[in-house]
């Protein structure tokens, strides 16, 4: 709770009271996120083979159309675009590919076990993050990609929950982890937001304004405030 105390400071008591009331009906205490958690899956899907060796783009399989429990995991259809013809390498792999074909024939989904599972009172969305991660890289920030949050998935045999961030020294999926990045990126995010707003008004692509428009201290403060406001992540 140390980090929580730090961020509670600048906020009105009413806000906090409201939030705590809203949260009081929420389940269990914070999950004890395990180190390198990787549950047994119905099919041994190998990221190292598909995303590493074969370099299939992450977003070919993980499309974030909407946010539902299984929104990010590919359908059998996606796998079958190759596995109608591609068999496995190993005996176990061939058996798994057969499972895939059986599921397809019966029009049944594969019941993948969720690796990540934030508690319901936390609001998280991929869309905003994937976009800003790319946009930040255009304004001199190092930006961020899937791997910054999920680790080197393309080197993993099975998708696993990242244990801790070597740079941030934080456990992922905790509030402190989210906030550390939010605070660190506030300044550059404010610039991107400002550029986009100006570009919209002028009817030009936002990238053309890089270096010509700067974010004011006020812009930065507003973004920092929003990115650590309780309601941004708890609504």
Near ligand HEC in 199-218, by CB under 6 A = none
Of 162, 161, 156, 163, nearest to 45 (Cα)?
A: 156
Query: Which residue number places its CB atom closest to ligand HEC?
Result: 93
Q: Which residue has the tokens 């059998």?
A: 76
The single residue among 29, 85, 201, 203 that binds ligand HEC, judged by CB under 6 A, is 29
Report the alpha-carbon distance of residue 119 to residue 129 in Å, rounded: 19
Structure tokens at 154: 């393309």
- 8 A C-beta contact, residue 180 and residue 228: no
Q: 127: Cβ–Cβ under 8 A, 6 or more apart, which residues?
A: 64
Closer residue to ligand HEC in complex, CB, 27/211: 27
Q: Three-state DSSP class for 210? A: coil
Report the alpha-carbon distance of residue 148 to residue 143 in Å, rounded: 9
**Other CB atoms within 10 Å distance of the CB of residue 34:** 11
> Is 118 an interacting residue with respect to ligand HEC (CB under 6 A)?
yes
> Is 146 an interacting residue with respect to ligand HEC (CB under 6 A)?
yes
The continuous run of DSSP H or E covering 170 comes out as: none
Least CB distance to ligand HEC at residue 77 (A): 9
Q: Which among 101-109, 197-205, 206-214, 227-235 is the span making contact with ligand HEC, rule CB under 6 A? A: 227-235
Measured between alpha carbons, how far is residue 63 from residues 73, 114, 126, 167 in Å?
Answer: 8, 16, 10, 28
Number of residues that bind ligand HEC (CB under 6 A): 86
Least CB distance to ligand HEC at residue 57 (A): 6
The site map against ligand HEC for 158-177 (x = CB under 6 A) is xx-------------xxx-x
- 8 A C-beta contact, residue 173 and residue 118: yes
Helical pair 175-202 and 126-136, crossing angle rounded to 10 deg: 70
The single residue among 137, 148, 210, 213 that binds ligand HEC, judged by CB under 6 A, is 148
Least CB distance to ligand HEC at residue 212 (A): 21
Least CB distance to ligand HEC at residue 138 (A): 13
Least CB distance to ligand HEC at residue 204 (A): 20
The site map against ligand HEC for 47-86 (x = CB under 6 A) is x-xxx--x-x-xxxxx--------xxxx---xx-xxx--x
Closer residue to ligand HEC in complex, CB, 10/211: 10
Least CB distance to ligand HEC at residue 163 (A): 13
> Is 222 an interacting residue with respect to ligand HEC (CB under 6 A)?
no
């Amino acid at each position: 709770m140390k980090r929580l105390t730090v961020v509670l400071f600048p906020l009105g008591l009413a806000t906090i009271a409201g939030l705590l009331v809203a949260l009081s009906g929420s389940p269990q205490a914070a999950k004890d996120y395990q180190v390198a958690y990787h549950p047994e899956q119905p099919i041994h899907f190998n990221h190292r083979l598909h995303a590493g060796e074969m370099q299939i783009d992450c977003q070919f399989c993980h499309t974030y159309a909407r946010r539902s429990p299984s929104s990010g995991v590919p359908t059998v259809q996606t796998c079958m675009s190759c596995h109608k013809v591609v068999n496995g390498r190993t005996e176990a792999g061939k058996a798994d590919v057969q499972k895939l074909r059986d599921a397809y024939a019966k029009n049944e989904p594969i019941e993948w076990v969720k690796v990540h599972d934030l508690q319901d009172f936390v609001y998280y969305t991929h869309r905003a993050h994937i976009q800003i991660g790319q946009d930040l890289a255009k304004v001199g920030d190092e930006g961020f990609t899937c791997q910054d949050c999920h680790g080197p998935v393309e080197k993993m045999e099975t998708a696993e929950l990242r244990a801790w961030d070597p740079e941030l020294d934080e456990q992922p999926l905790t509030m402190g982890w989210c906030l550390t990045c939010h605070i660190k990126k506030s300044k550059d995010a404010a610039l991107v937001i400002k550029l986009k707003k100006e570009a919209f008004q002028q009817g030009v692509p936002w990238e053309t304004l890089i270096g010509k428009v700067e974010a004011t201290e006020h812009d930065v403060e507003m973004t920092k405030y929003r990115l650590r406001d309780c309601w941004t992540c708890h609504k």
